Amino acid sequence: MRDRLLALIAGLLFPLAFAPYDLWPLLFASIAAAFWCQQQAGTAREALFRGWLYGIGMFGFGVSWVHVSMHDYGYMPLWMAIPFTAIFAAFLALFYGLTFYLSWRLGRSALAFAGLWLLLDWVRGWFLTGFPWLYAGYALIDSPFAPLAPLGGVWLLTLAAVLLGATVVQLRRPGPLRWLAGGLSVLMLITTGIAHTLSFTRPDGPLQQVALVQGNIPQDLKWQLSMRDRTREIYRDLTADIPADTLVIWPESAMTEFYQTITDFIEEQGRKLAERDSALITGVPWRTVGDAGVTYHNSIAAIPLHNGVDPAERVYHKQKLVPFGEYVPMQSLIRGLIPFFDLPMSGFTPGDPAQPNLHARGHTLAPFICYEILYPELVASRSHDADVLITISNDAWFGTSAGPLQHFQMARLRALETGRWLLRGTNNGVTAVVDHRGKVVDSLPQFQRDVLYSQYQPRTGITPFMATGVWPWLVLAAVLAAAGWGLGIRKTP
């Protein structure tokens, strides 16, 4: 019972390493305690249960904000939203139950534990559309380990964190794995030191002006028909005095009407800016009528659309859609059961993966809408010919919870992984400019209607992570798991 309670407490410590708490050293303490609990389990089944308890603590605390969107803005009763969130956390916790179970079967070594942790984190990122939240590496964005990100992304950071945390406990056990785990941990520390001296991208031209407009329209009002005219006024007025030679960014679904419905308004704003050698990038719902019927997209567009550039390079349709928020699985069965399954704009179609990046003011921008910025490989693959990353979001769905701050922390790591600046425009925060090292250059306070004026540096070049993606680290994780088993450490100490 004591060890089960420790597993739960260790899981509760894990989210404290992330925003908004940022107590990143607790990440290693949480992982070390988790590995100790796994080692002390008498059976594989007991290890699985302890891992599940660890995951319950991690997600029960770390993503508890999910109930805010369900209850406050999805109109789900609180007595239903809380159990739904608990079921969601319990399901995600199974991944760590499997990590404990399989690594127990493979000898209870730090190597197998770290390797399987990474492999199952990767599976969690795509299984049933994926939930790539709270990867351990994100907590290290402001730590001395951050320079590992351009080498191997969040995956290498996660592997380093788990290996180092588990090795502290592994050193207590006699045998060759103690020295192998210790040696690999020392190698990881040496690599971190060397990484501080490396740079893989370089400036590409002079600094550019940017203005990010934060409309701060309350989520419970945003989609009401009565707010449409007022929404136009807010963004028109905030944009009117932006100086010339500026890239202007409006957030995700800044306009709650389809582009095809309000073409005149949006294009007029774009033309006014173009007359001052500026350009408008805006989030806007998109409607397409084709042979297969009518499809709807969550989109981002460079306005005006027709200014001598191929229109295909002026509009990007979101690829990674949020279940229930942007599309409803099995919608023929569950639409109408509860209000949460009928959220506004929850019938989108994903965009084509082969879409080109956006072009504005002579630069190439890699665009990502909200949740997409959480997919490391997607961002890395679209960044090769881009000067800068741009992401727009509407985190008002999560109110004053930790969700928006966690989201921003993860977005920052994409800048570090690709060696490019990140421009982040949101409805109510965090609106910010992040440099190629993942550091915040400028930001607006949350829940404030304002314009963030800043600069960004276009950059070019390829980081090792952009060149290789996740696969080298999945192979390494599998090798570590195999080494833990192959060295024969399979008996209870």
pLDDT tens-digit map of 137-177: 999 999 999 999 999 999 999 999 999 999 999 988 777 77
Q: Rounded distance, CA 14 to CA 317, Å?
A: 35
The pLDDT score that the predictor gives to residue 327 is: 61
The reply to whether 320 belongs to the active site is no
Asked if residue 391 lies in contact with residue 418, where contact means CB atoms within 8 angstroms, the answer is no
What is the pTM assigned to this prediction? 0.93
Asked if residue 350 lies in contact with residue 319, where contact means CB atoms within 8 angstroms, the answer is yes
Q: Rounded distance, CA 432 to CA 454, Å?
A: 9
**Any idea which of 67-76, 209-218, 384-393, 423-432 has the lowest mean pLDDT?**
67-76
The reply to whether 252 belongs to the active site is yes
Q: Name the catalytic one among 37, 46, 222, 252.
A: 252
The pLDDT score that the predictor gives to residue 75 is: 64
For the chain, which residues make up each domain, given as ranges? 2-199+469-486, 203-462
CA-based R_g, the chain, Å: 23
Strands in 133-219 per DSSP E: 201-203, 208-214
Nearest alpha-carbon partner for 132 in 453, 413, 482: 413
**Which fold does the domain 203-462 belong to in CATH?**
Nitrilase/N-carbamoyl-D-aminoacid amidohydrolase (3.60.110)
Which of the four pLDDT bands, split at 50, 70 and 90, describes residue 338? very low
The reply to whether 370 belongs to the active site is yes
Residue type, 32: A
The pLDDT score that the predictor gives to residue 310 is: 65
Neighbours of 446 (CB within 10 A): 18
The pLDDT score that the predictor gives to residue 337 is: 44
Tell whether the model's pLDDT for residue 72 goes beyond 70.
no
The pLDDT score that the predictor gives to residue 70 is: 74
- Per-residue pLDDT reduced to its tens digit, 19-31: 999 999 999 999 9
Tell whether the model's pLDDT for residue 347 goes beyond 80.
no
Which whole number is the average pLDDT over 325-345?
Answer: 50
The pLDDT score that the predictor gives to residue 319 is: 94
Tell whether the model's pLDDT for residue 10 goes beyond 70.
yes
Average pLDDT, the chain: 90
Tell whether the model's pLDDT for residue 333 goes beyond 50.
no
**Any idea which of 229-233, 338-342, 350-354, 461-465 has the lowest mean pLDDT?**
338-342
State the sign of the Cα–Cα–Cα–Cα dihedral 234, 236, 237, 243: positive
Q: Name the catalytic one among 46, 222, 257, 318.
A: 318
Neighbour-count burial of 2, counting CB atoms closer than 10 A to its CB (0-12 exposed, 13-18 middle, 19+ buried): exposed
The pLDDT score that the predictor gives to residue 309 is: 63
Number of H helices, E strands in the chain: 16, 14
- Per-residue pLDDT reduced to its tens digit, 289-312: 877 788 899 999 999 876 666 667
Distance of CA 15 to the CA centre of its chain: 15
CB half-sphere exposure, 258, CA atoms < 13 A: 12
